[in-house]
Structure 1
Amino acid sequence: MLDTVTTALDWLGVVVFAVTGALVASRKQMDVVGFVMLGTATGIGGGTLRDVLMGAPVFWTRAPAYLVVCAVVAVVVFFTAHLPQSRHRILLWLDAVGLALFAVTGAEAALRAGAGAIVAAAMGVITATFGGVIRDVLGSESPVILSREIYATAALAGATTFVGLSFAGVPRDAALVAGFVVGFAVRAAALRWGWSLPRYRPRPGRPPDATA
């Protein structure tokens, strides 16, 4: 059951993120090659960095079907991107789904590789956010991770929930679902109500004589 749930969530995350990459390509009016490049980079980028940092074989080199699926999804979006009224809004909500999915599957992969709780949570965040960073940089978009609303924190909430429940003895498939729900709920609330963390505000420094 665990392998089935993990695999299903991982594939769904790849497909969803590939769609968001292709949607950015549509906003930039790229050709089909650009769609495939952005879709593939977004779909597998976070997992690739995770595996490199963990010293593990990069997942798509053992399962090239990930590359094929990303390319196919991108081509489908090339012919259908004009259908939704607001591609940007759809992009944000699909990105939220992908973020939550990859937060838990990234943390799960790290735990399976023998990582501790802190490293596993960090790998969940990296898996969830790095593909979006690549997408936005290649598409000359303002990175979503730097948006005012909570983003990486949502991934951390999802990954931490999964890792914490796993170490508490909760069945791994239930922990995966719970982590996804928490991560998505936090990001969705940020999108809906504009939640954000406190931001730095400029303030005058102390005069030199005050520091003497």
Structure 2
Amino acid sequence: MKVGVVGATGVVGQEMLRLLESSPLGEYPPHLLASPRSAGRIVPWRDQELTVHPLDENADLAALDVSLMAAGSEIARQWAPRFVDAGGAVVDNSSAFRLDDDVPLVIPEVNPEMISPGPGIIANPNCSTIILLLVLKPLWSLTPRRIIADTYQAVSGAGRSGLDALEREGSGGEFRPGDPFPFPIHGNLFPTIGSVDDEGVTAEERKMLDETRKILSDPDIVVQGTCVRVPVA
């Protein structure tokens, strides 16, 4: 099986590559794809050096059986259907397809029955949703009606820019509003991850609610979340 990693030079893409090193899916070296500005970079994998290829109109999508996407929602919306049209399966880490009715939102340890063989898109839930439902899985038989959850999330959840901000501020550098946090992160915590809606719910907290309802096929379950950004990598 030939596996592609889209967004191979980012924080999540690098973690995907690390996991592939010990996975049965890593029988063959993965094909690395990223933005044109990252094309040509060399990435170590096992005892090899792999070249990053540009994700553009010349990319050979039909050569890939499975593509792991870690390139953000905009890229996913543009390219995931093309991989499927070329005959492949896509596992997308972004929020692009999570709430689409025709795309399964899957945690393998929770609802693997939603996975269908063959070409198609499988959406990966948000990190906080995954951890929450893995913990609560043994309680399904009790039919919980209300979930109260607090999460404390590292700066790496904001990608490389989050890590850079923590390192810069920790070294005495200045705080840059919105880069990517609304407040200084070094030595600080704040319950604001993403935008805040009219009900006072942040985007991260809304994801936990909407995604939990979809994964459990329960539109009435209540999820009250408080998601806090903390100054760890």
Query: Is this a same-fold pair by TM over 0.5?
Result: no
* Larger relative strand fraction: 2
1 or 2 for the larger relative contact order (CA 8 Å, sep ≥6)?
A: 1
The TM-score normalised by the length of structure 1 is: 0.29
* Larger relative helix fraction: 1
